[in-house]
Every structure is written in structure tokens, then in C-alpha cells.
Amino acid sequence: MKRILALLLALMMVFLLCACGDSDSDDKDKSGDNSSSQGDASDQEGGPSAQEVYRGRIDSIDLNDAFVAGIREDGTVVATGGTSFSQGFSTDDWENITKVSVGSNHIVGLCSDGTVLATGYNASGQCDVADWTDIVDIHAGNQVTLGVKSDGTVVATGGADAYEDWKNVISVTGRGDAAYGLTEAGEVYAPWDSSPCATDVRSIHSNASYALFVKNDGTVTCSDPDNYGVYCPDIESFGDITDVAVCHSNLSAGLRSDGTVVATGPVNDVGQLDTEEWTDIVAVAVGNYHTVGLCSDGTVVATGGNGYGQCDVEQWTDIVAIWAENVYTLGLRADGTIVVAGQFGSWEPYDFSVFTDIKTR
């Protein structure tokens, strides 16, 4: 009898263990189904948000008053400009481009293999880049082109020789022919001195008159081409800054880490400095007399002069990057198309219909 009872108890234990195992398996299956459903819902939400995409200034577009150039997802390049653009400018056969840089009369492209292409006027030799190799960054100025090599040295065309003493450079930026080099250690080279002119710098933002250096502690310093500071704006209120935008009218804007914006300039006659109420901003841009902000939800705000419609951005959505110049504003959408408000400097119609499938990362 005892043996029978023991056998019955053993059978009951086996039954209970199997039941518990089936229950755990069912819970895991349900949990797996929920994860799959959440993943599908995320996929259905569409492309990346502005906050997800924005990573400083996106290299897929560069522009000025004369030209706009953009890199497509497949590495080809589209460009547009005024009447002069059709005379000797062509990027139709460019492939595998990772960055474009636009000068006053030429366009330069960095290839994925470290070589460089250029198109446009070449009166000063600014397009003589055919023999460049091992390049990791480029900058096109008025009559000069700069290239940063992987060893940190800088090569230049257009008769420029002020950069040959630069060392350990990782990027170059500038406006006109005044270019600045940033090293991995945060040092800044300027054309007027063979030694670094600033340290502990995270990013450089310049126009033809001065450069603003965003330091690692969020403060901002200024330097001008003559190194006297006479052109520098009032940046005393620029603290906790993550990004800066400048334009050649000496209007500058700073993005704080909390998403607010501070602007400075010689005048505020059309409200170009009125950014005090802006919040949730992830990028800033400035034209001659208007300031633009990209919101974290992909919308855009603008303030200042609007004589040419450059501030008419209230209907823009799904924007992942913004640019501004003179009297126009340009936005890149998450789907790779662009929107434009205002008028370009050449006062001629530009063909933006070719700007499709532009890289958003």
C-alpha cells in the first residue's frame, strides 16, 4: 500500500512540474509577441526624429549665396546655382562622396577612398586637387582649397602656404579664405600664426570677420583674422553652449544645452535677437538679419527680417537639419528632400527639384 501511495505522489509531482513548465512557456511566448508588436509599431512611426539625426552640422549639404550642393544616399552629388553655375560646373559623374564643400566659385567633394574632386573656376588653381590622397576633411574658400590628411597635416591649393606648419589637425572650417584647423587635443590653428591660437576647443564657427570657438566647458571665445578682437561680438551671455551659428553680418546665435538660444549682434532692428522664448531647440542657423531654430519635434522657428520670406517656416515639419544665409533659409527633411524659404543671393531661380534622397545622417 505504501508503495502505491509513493508512486501516486511521484506521478502528481511530475504532473505539477509539467504544468508549471507549460505556464512559463506560455508567458514567454506572450512576452515575445508583445516585443514583436512594439517593434512593428516603432517601424510604422516613420523616419528618424530631428533629435535622433542631428549631430552638429550635417556634412551632406553645403551652401553659400551662390551655390548649393548635396550628397545623395548613393554617394552621388547634386548641385544648383544661378546662371553662372551652368558655365563650367558639373558634379554629374561624382561618386562615393562623403562630404562636399562650396567655395565662392568652385565646389569640392571628398571621396570615400581619400581622394578629392573639384569643379568650377580655377583661375588661382583652387581646383588642382587631382593628386591628393589620404584626405579626411576638406574646405573650399574663395580662391583656395584645403585638405586634411590622415596624419594631421594640411595640404592647400590656390597659392595658400599659411597652413604647412599645422600639425595633428582633424578638421578645417572657415569662411572666405580665412580657415581654421582643429586638432584632436582641442587646439586651434589660424592662418596668421604657426602656433595654436586657442586650446580646449570643441568646435569652430566663423565668418569672414571673426571666429567663435566653443570650448569644452560650454564657454565661447572669439578671435578675428587680425587677432585684435575688434570684430568680435558681445558673447558675455554665451554660457553652457553646445553649438553656435554665425553669418557675415556679424549676427551670431548660441544653442544652450537646455535647448534655449541666445543671440547677439550689432543691432536688433528687426527682431533678429529675439530668441528668449525659444525652447526644445536642437540646432541654430543665422542669415544676415534672421535667426532660425530647429525644434526637437522637427518643426522650425524663425525671427528677424522677413522681407523675402526667409522666416516663413512655420509650416515646415519632419526637418532634421537647417541652414541659413543672407536672406534665405533651407531645411532638410527626414525623407531626404529639402524646403526653402526666402531668396538666394544671385536673385535668380535655383533648381531644387534635383535635391531628392539627400543623406540625413
- What pLDDT shows up at residue 229? 55
| 120 is a domain residue | yes
| 338 is a domain residue | no
| 218 is a domain residue | no
| 241 is a domain residue | no
Beta bridge partners of 77: 71
- What pLDDT shows up at residue 84? 61
- What pLDDT shows up at residue 55? 38
pTM of the model: 0.82
Q: Are 189 and 180 in contact (CB under 8 A)?
A: yes
| 10 is a domain residue | no
- What pLDDT shows up at residue 248? 78
- What pLDDT shows up at residue 327? 92
- What pLDDT shows up at residue 161? 75
Name 132's Cβ contacts closer than 8 Å, sequence gap at least 6. Answer: 115, 116, 147, 155
Phi, psi of 136 (to 5 degrees): -120, -10
Phi, psi of 66 (to 5 degrees): -105, -40
| 69 is a domain residue | yes
3-state secondary structure of 234: coil
- What pLDDT shows up at residue 17? 40
| 140 is a domain residue | yes
| 27 is a domain residue | no
List average pLDDT for each run of 10 residues in the chain, which is 361 residues long: 44 42 35 33 41 54 90 96 70 96 93 97 93 97 93 88 89 86 94 86 91 95 70 91 91 97 96 98 96 97 97 97 94 96 72 91 80
C-alpha cell of residue 65: 549665396
Domain count, the chain: 1
Domain interval for residue 154: 59-161
CATH code (residue 156): 2.130.10.30
Q: Are 238 and 262 in contact (CB under 8 A)?
A: yes
- What pLDDT shows up at residue 38? 31
